[in-house]
């Protein structure tokens, strides 16, 4: 491979993406508008919460604990989701899926029974403590929830008319958990990076089909240029464009209130993932260009690769199982872990995602190159 | 032994039922301006495409500039310049950028490339238009920039497939002059055309092909003398009973 050839072809590719309005739109303007539109629609400028969602872990499973849960959900300001274990509940709290977590202790029912067996002799009661975790980031939640829960504990124990009398069940001091405050936009932002990269398929399919139809590929082929130089320069150019694209989305999403919980290494991995996805989509584009024979058909057929990646693997979640079939899913998943869950950049989940995307990328790109250089010429 | 000639032996190219090139044999000497004259569908482009290594012949052998087109396409590409019949160019690049891109693809040193691009663009009469996007060019301008793209690498052997088709007479004369200059520089040129005057005006020798077969080969003068006619059109009529270009 000659540097001079690669650089000339890369420059040509970049000029194509900047000078052809349709491509300029897809690579740079579309991500900008996308981020802006979704940011305005779903970002922090939008809705405030009206009910608190409470995660409940029932370690007791008695009639009393059921009654307590019924009272919680009857309260109009709370919506309840049950968890089997404390770990999951607290991690959902950390990720902002619930506002607080209530733990009903194993001796909850026993304690209630002991109270009613002898309501006036506190020394005969079994004491129990209901533990509470709240989101420390939200002043409203951390202040409003404990009294509400306290009230419902008493309501459960005494019935409707309760008074502030001694009782066996205490509400533990609210444990403050550092939770993120996410808007819907925050959940969408990781998908946006993948979303924009997916359209590389269309650009590659169209431009290769066009270059073939106009005889340009043949013309280049009668110079000392090799197919690997053509494809490498395409990858170079699209990598550069992807870096610009990702930066635009970061900046726009930042303006829209998106604050990724990650460090430099996390951003680096995010870039790498998007680049791998772009390369993978270059492979899809080459496969498309092999199948079709006109640029118009290329546009249509490229959606065979674009739509599944879009609907199964970006911010439009349909099914997680089906998502595993498309590379964009793993990119979105990794970016979500990085940006929203604050997962360490080199944690296992992320590295597995990087690995899977790399494997996708390698296989698809190799298939694309082989097909295109074998059958995609004339 | 390096030679800038071309040697074609029993070349055959079949496309399913059609035999586009039918047992073609000829030799082009180094430094010769050789014309392939023939009507539409005669097999001119197919022959060129085999000689530049784009198409595999069904059978036969072709050696261009000392390189077997089947075995040594890599070396072949560094010594040839090709001006395809359908001018292929990047619409979103300027004329000059198109030319310089192909110079770079031929690994030309930057400063030499810049100067040569400038010279050729001037010489072919594009001048300032070279700075405009090629997508906005007229048909004639496209053909001229395409010719410059083909010759930017100063090739030893140039393949020009109908370089003046659909050009006005003035532009055609300018391109003829351009092609004659190639000859004075000692280049081997193989040119296809279905313009009788073009073949007569430019070529050292002309091969007339019809239905993939070579039906006559000589200097224009010798062909006229041999058949005792005024022009090459009549030579074609004498041999085939048809005109090269059916009147519309
Ligand atoms: N790829 C192809 N597949 C099938 N047939 C082809 C192909 N290329 C050329 N042919 C056929 O081969 C024959 C010769 O075509 P060719 O293009 O070589 O003619 P030509 O002399 O260049 O004609 P023109 O003056 O119109 O350019 C024609 O009948 C054409 O239809
Ligand atoms: Mg032709």
Question: Hey, are the CB atoms on A219 and B78 less than 8 Å from each other?
Answer: no
Selected for mutation to probe chain B from A214, A219, A225 (highest B CB count within 10 Å) is: A219
Please tell me the distance in Å from A93's CA to the nearest CA on chain B. Answer: 53
Q: Are A100 and A54 in contact (CB under 8 A)?
A: yes
Q: What is the largest CA-CA distance in chain B?
A: 54
Chain B residues within 8 A of A224 when measuring between CB atoms = 74, 77-78, 105-107
Q: What is the per-residue pLDDT for A166?
A: 67
What whole-number distance in Å separates Cα of residue B195 and Cα of residue B200? 9
- Spacing, Cα B32 to ligand 1 middle (Å): 25
Q: What is the per-residue pLDDT for B246?
A: 55
pLDDT, chain B, mean: 91
DSSP state, residue B135: G
Residue nearest to ligand 1 atom 7, measured at CA: B15
Per-residue pLDDT tens digits for B62-93: 999 999 999 998 899 999 999 999 999 999 99
Please tell me the distance in Å from B178's CA to the nearest CA on chain A. Answer: 21
Q: Are A304 and A201 in contact (CB under 8 A)?
A: no
DSSP state, residue A29: I
Question: Hey, are the CB atoms on A7 and B80 less than 8 Å from each other?
Answer: no
Interface check for A244 against chain B (CB to CB < 8 A): the answer is: no
Q: Are B61 and B68 in contact (CB under 8 A)?
A: yes
Interface check for A19 against chain B (CB to CB < 8 A): the answer is: yes
Chain B residues within 8 A of A21 when measuring between CB atoms = none
DSSP string, A28-84: IIHHHHHHHHHHHHHSTTSPPP-SEEEEEEESS-SHHHHHHHHHHHHSTTEEEEEES
What whole-number distance in Å separates Cα of residue B208 and Cα of residue B222? 13
Higher pLDDT, B119 or A30: B119
Q: Who contacts A117 (Cβ-Cβ below 8 Å, separation ≥6)? A: A124
Q: Are B50 and B103 in contact (CB under 8 A)?
A: no
| Atom of ligand 1 minimally distant from the CA of B85 | 27
Residue nearest to ligand 1 atom 18, measured at CA: B43
| Burial zone of A374 (CB within 10 Å; 0-12 exposed, 13-18 middle, 19+ buried) | exposed
Structure tokens at A323: 């998502």
Helix (H/G/I), strand (E/B), else coil: B165:
coil
Q: What is the largest CA-CA distance in chain A?
A: 100
Residue nearest to ligand 1 atom 24, measured at CA: B40
Q: What is the per-residue pLDDT for B248?
A: 40
Which ligand number lies closest to the CA of residue B47?
1
Chain B residues within 8 A of A19 when measuring between CB atoms = 92, 133
Q: Which residue has the tokens 């002799």?
A: A121
- β-pair type (A78-83, A52-58): parallel
Per-residue pLDDT of chain A (378 residues; tens, 9 = 90+): 899 999 999 999 999 999 999 889 888 888 888 888 887 877 655 444 457 788 999 999 999 999 899 888 887 778 889 999 998 998 888 877 888 899 999 999 998 888 888 888 888 888 889 999 987 766 666 777 888 888 888 888 887 666 666 677 777 776 666 655 566 777 778 888 888 889 899 999 998 999 999 999 999 999 999 988 999 999 999 989 988 988 888 888 888 777 777 788 888 999 899 999 999 999 999 999 999 988 889 999 999 999 999 888 887 566 677 888 899 999 988 988 888 777 788 888 889 999 999 999 999 999 998 988 877 665
Answering whether pTM is above 0.80, one says no
pLDDT class of B110 with cuts at 50, 70, 90? very high
Q: Are A260 and A266 in contact (CB under 8 A)?
A: yes
CB pairs under 8 A between A and B: 62
Q: What is the per-residue pLDDT for A180?
A: 56
Please tell me the distance in Å from B232's CA to the nearest CA on chain A. Answer: 31
What whole-number distance in Å separates Cα of residue B143 and Cα of residue B154? 18
Question: Hey, are the CB atoms on A219 and B92 less than 8 Å from each other?
Answer: no
Q: What is the per-residue pLDDT for B244?
A: 77
Structure tokens at A333: 């998943």
Selected for mutation to probe chain A from B67, B87, B105, B190 (highest A CB count within 10 Å) is: B105
Question: Hey, are the CB atoms on B105 and A224 less than 8 Å from each other?
Answer: yes
Residue A96 CB neighbour total at 10 angstroms: 20
Smallest Cβ–Cβ distance between B80 and the set A4, A16, A222 belongs to: A222
Chain B residues within 8 A of A16 when measuring between CB atoms = 90, 92
Which ligand number lies closest to the CA of residue B160?
2
Selected for mutation to probe chain B from A2, A215, A222, A377 (highest B CB count within 10 Å) is: A222
Smallest Cβ–Cβ distance between A5 and the set B78, B92, B105 belongs to: B105
Q: Are B129 and B141 in contact (CB under 8 A)?
A: yes
Smallest Cβ–Cβ distance between B93 and the set A7, A15, A215 belongs to: A15
What whole-number distance in Å separates Cα of residue A133 and Cα of residue A172? 9
Helix residue ranges, H only, B152-205: 169-184, 196-202
Structure tokens at B226: 């041999």
Residue nearest to ligand 1 atom 3, measured at CA: B15
Q: What is the per-residue pLDDT for B42?
A: 93
Per-residue pLDDT tens digits for A223-255: 999 988 999 999 999 989 988 988 888 888 888
Query: CA angle B58-B64-B68, nearest 5°?
Result: 55
Q: What is the per-residue pLDDT for B238?
A: 86
Structure tokens at A69: 């849960």
DSSP state, residue B153: T
Chain A residues within 8 A of B86 when measuring between CB atoms = 214-215
Q: What is the per-residue pLDDT for A48?
A: 45
Helix (H/G/I), strand (E/B), else coil: A301:
helix
* Angle formed by the axes of helices A264-291 and A295-313, nearest 10°: 140
Q: Which residue has the tokens 């004329």?
A: B95
pLDDT class of B247 with cuts at 50, 70, 90? very low
Q: Are A338 and A349 in contact (CB under 8 A)?
A: no
Query: CA angle A211-A216-A222, nearest 5°?
Result: 140
Question: Hey, are the CB atoms on B90 and A8 less than 8 Å from each other?
Answer: no
Protein residues whose CB sits closer than 6 Å to any atom of ligand 1: B 15, 18, 20, 38, 40-46, 85, 194
Residue nearest to ligand 1 atom 31, measured at CA: B41
DSSP state, residue B94: B
Q: What is the mean pLDDT of residues B104-133?
A: 94
């Amino acid at each position: 491979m000659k540097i001079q050839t690669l650089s000339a072809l890369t420059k040509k590719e970049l000029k194509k993406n900047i000078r052809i309005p349709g491509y300029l739109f897809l690579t740079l303007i579309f991500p900008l508008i996308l981020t802006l539109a979704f940011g305005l629609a779903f970002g922090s400028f939008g809705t405030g919460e009206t009910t608190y969602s409470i995660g409940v872990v029932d370690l007791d499973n008695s009639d009393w604990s059921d009654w307590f849960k019924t009272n919680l959900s009857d309260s109009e300001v709370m919506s309840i989701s049950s968890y089997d274990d404390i770990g999951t509940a607290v991690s959902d709290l950390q990720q902002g899926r619930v506002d607080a977590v209530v733990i009903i202790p194993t001796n909850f029912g026993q304690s209630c029974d002991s109270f009613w067996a002898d309501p006036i002799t506190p020394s005969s009661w079994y004491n129990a403590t209901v533990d509470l975790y709240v989101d420390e980031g939200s002043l409203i939640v951390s202040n409003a929830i404990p009294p509400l829960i306290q009230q419902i504990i008493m309501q459960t124990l005494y019935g409707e008319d309760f008074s502030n009398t001694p009782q066996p069940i205490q509400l533990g001091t609210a444990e403050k958990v550092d939770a993120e405050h996410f808007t819907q936009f925050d959940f969408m932002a990781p998908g946006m990076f993948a979303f924009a990269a997916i359209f590389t398929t269309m650009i590659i399919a169209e431009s290769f089909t066009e270059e073939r139809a106009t005889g340009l590929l043949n013309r280049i082929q009668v110079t000392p240029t090799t197919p690997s130089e053509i494809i490498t320069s395409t990858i170079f150019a699209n990598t550069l464009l992807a870096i610009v694209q990702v930066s635009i989305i970061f900046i726009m999403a930042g303006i829209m209130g998106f604050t990724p919980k990650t460090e430099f290494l996390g951003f680096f991995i995010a870039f790498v993932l998007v680049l791998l996805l772009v390369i993978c989509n270059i492979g899809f584009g080459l496969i498309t260009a092999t199948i079709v024979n006109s640029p118009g058909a290329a546009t249509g057929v490229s959606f065979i690769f674009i739509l599944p990646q879009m609907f199964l693997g970006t911010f439009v979640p349909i099914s997680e199982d089906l998502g595993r079939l498309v590379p964009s899913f793993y990119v979105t998943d990794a970016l979500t872990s990085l940006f929203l869950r604050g997962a360490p950049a080199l944690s296992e989940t992320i590295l597995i995602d990087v690995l899977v995307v790399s494997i996708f990328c390698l296989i698809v790109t190799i298939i694309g190159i082989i097909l295109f250089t074998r059958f995609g010429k004339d | 032994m390096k030679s800038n000639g071309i040697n074609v032996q029993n070349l055959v190219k079949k496309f399913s039922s059609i035999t586009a090139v039918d047992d073609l044999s000829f030799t082009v000497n180094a430094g010769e301006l050789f014309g392939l004259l023939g009507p539409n569908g005669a097999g001119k482009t197919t022959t060129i495409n085999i000689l530049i290594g784009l198409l595999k012949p069904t059978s036969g052998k072709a050696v261009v500039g000392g390189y077997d087109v089947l075995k040594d396409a890599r070396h072949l590409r560094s010594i040839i310049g090709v001006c395809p019949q359908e001018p292929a160019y990047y619409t979103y690049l300027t004329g000059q950028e198109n030319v310089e891109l192909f110079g770079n693809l031929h690994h030309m040193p930057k400063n030499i490339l810049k100067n040569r691009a400038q010279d050729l663009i001037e010489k072919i009469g594009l001048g300032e238009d070279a700075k405009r996007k090629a997508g906005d060019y007229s048909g004639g301008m496209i053909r001229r920039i395409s010719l410059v793209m083909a010759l930017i690498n100063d090739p030893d052997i140039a393949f020009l497939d109908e370089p003046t088709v659909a050009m006005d007479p003035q532009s055609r004369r300018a391109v003829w002059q351009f092609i004659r200059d190639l000859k004075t520089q000692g280049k081997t040129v193989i040119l296809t055309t279905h313009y009788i005057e073009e073949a007569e005006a430019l070529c050292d020798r002309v091969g007339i092909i019809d239905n993939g077969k070579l039906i006559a080969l000589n200097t224009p003068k010798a062909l006229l003398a041999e058949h005792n006619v005024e022009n090459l059109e009549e030579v074609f009529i004498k041999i085939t009973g048809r005109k090269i270009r059916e009147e519309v």
